[in-house]
Structure 1
């Protein structure tokens, strides 16, 4: 898996200076790092992926069509990192990113159910960690909305 990661790292470094092109290349690199981590790669892959996805979200205006997917990927990657003994702050940020992705997904978008499901999963994980009833109530409510 080093080959694709190295290739996308070079592509991201050489991408044009326009926000959309460079951001898209870095987001793909982040996904390659997450995949490599899932296949036994180092924990640093998740840390690097989180940084790249945070940058992707920050680089695009709220109305940009790619931003929702970057938010969803950031939420997922933060949850993965939390599951590797990271702090509660990763779950808090994952909830924020997941909430922003769900809110930015139009009601008639086929991806809305997935966004709500993912947010519910992160809220349920945070409930298991903290015991906050509000997170569980919200997670259950989101599952009913799908």
Structure 2
């Protein structure tokens, strides 16, 4: 808990406080891509060792990642997503789709997230109501804590 009223009552602020920096989300992204070793995270991200070590520690302490013995029997440890970490998949997909939509020109190459079974691109995520109808921002509001 925090004494900051913005963080204390706002789920978005709490989430950003935990995984809102560039490196944490990119570590989670890489974990979804199967990266699990320190040296492989460092190679993929090009991040300084001290920063990577700090972010991995924070993600483990927050139970987004957990450590386990290396699957190949070596003395190394691996970082793997927990169920709490796996639930960040929708956030990673939403960021990816937003980036694909707004940060690349029409013919600029970029990676594409596809469904493993069909090999087809994942449809654009949408916020829907109980009936499955797409909700516009004007059709929802945040009920603030008083």
TM-score relative to the length of structure 2: 0.31
Comparing both structures, which one devotes a greater share of its residues to strand?
A: 2
TM-score relative to the length of structure 1: 0.31
